[in-house]
A and B are shown apart, each in its own frame.
Chain A
Amino acid sequence: MNRLVELSTTVYERLLFLYPKELREDFGGEMNLAFADDLEQAWGDARVAGVAQIWWYAISELATVALPGQLSNRYVAVPAVSFLACVATDTALMLIAAILNPHVDTPEVLASQWYLVPAVSLINALVSLVVTCFCARCPLTVLRLD
């Protein structure tokens, strides 16, 4: 097997973890096999350009198949939405505060404290994950009394 094809197959096999568990368990092996076959064929037909085309398909599928599939899982969707919402609101609040305060040098503040928004958002996402796990086990939510 060609080195590029071999390396690509190994990378694709690792990327399979991004797909929903059910799809991975039922068809992971076959997906990898189909990808390897496709690469072999593409390499034979068009060399590097063919391999690049197959990778383009594979990468676009991460957005069209893996991401929507993962977002249907509440343990991924809730923290992700929570993280993004927190990033948006915290960034907006920081900017509003900086604009309203004429003594603050906005670019300097953003440059020196850039890590605050992602850090707070990450904590928020972790808390939402814990709450989601708790809700899944809470008898009230099981009985639909919430």
Chain B
Amino acid sequence: MEPDQPLAPAAFLILFALATGDKHGYAIMQEARKLSDHTVAIGPATLYTTIQRLLDSDRIREVAGPEGGDSRRRYYRLTAAGKAALQSELARMEAMVKKSKAMRLRTAESS
């Protein structure tokens, strides 16, 4: 993953899901689906392939789970690089929406 490149939808949703706190894989998957209104199909393989890439690029890191939690589950946390990537992606999206409004591609009702 290149630092300034746009994020893939799954990576963006995983970072977004982790923005509200540490989560294990299944919780990330549920949150990501909810955030996308179930329009992005994230299954276990997509989830963990993307988690692997995010770990490799230091955008997330593994952390200890809560006391008495399920030991089979690993928890993940957003790093500073991950927060920066999420902010940058959100800013990119916001800029695109502004441009689309300026070009009158979006009506007042759709915004």
CA distance A30 to B72 in the complex (A): 7
Q: Give the secondary structure class of A's interface.
A: helix
Contact between chains at B73 and A57 (CB < 8 Å):
no
Contact between chains at B46 and A31 (CB < 8 Å):
no
Near B by CB (< 8 A), chain A positions 46-87 give: 54, 57-58, 60-62, 64-66, 69
Contact between chains at A58 and B43 (CB < 8 Å):
yes
Contact between chains at A34 and B49 (CB < 8 Å):
no
Contact between chains at B47 and A23 (CB < 8 Å):
no
B residues near A (Cβ < 8 Å) are 25-26, 29-30, 41-49, 51-52, 72-74
A residues near B (Cβ < 8 Å) are 19, 22-23, 26-27, 29-35, 37-38, 41, 54, 57-58, 60-62, 64-66, 69
* 20 more CB-based (< 8 A) A-B contacts, given A22-B52, A30-B72, A61-B45: A23-B45, A23-B48, A27-B25, A27-B48, A27-B51, A27-B52, A30-B74, A31-B44, A31-B45, A32-B44, A33-B25, A33-B26, A34-B25, A34-B48, A38-B29, A60-B41, A61-B46, A62-B45, A66-B45, A69-B49
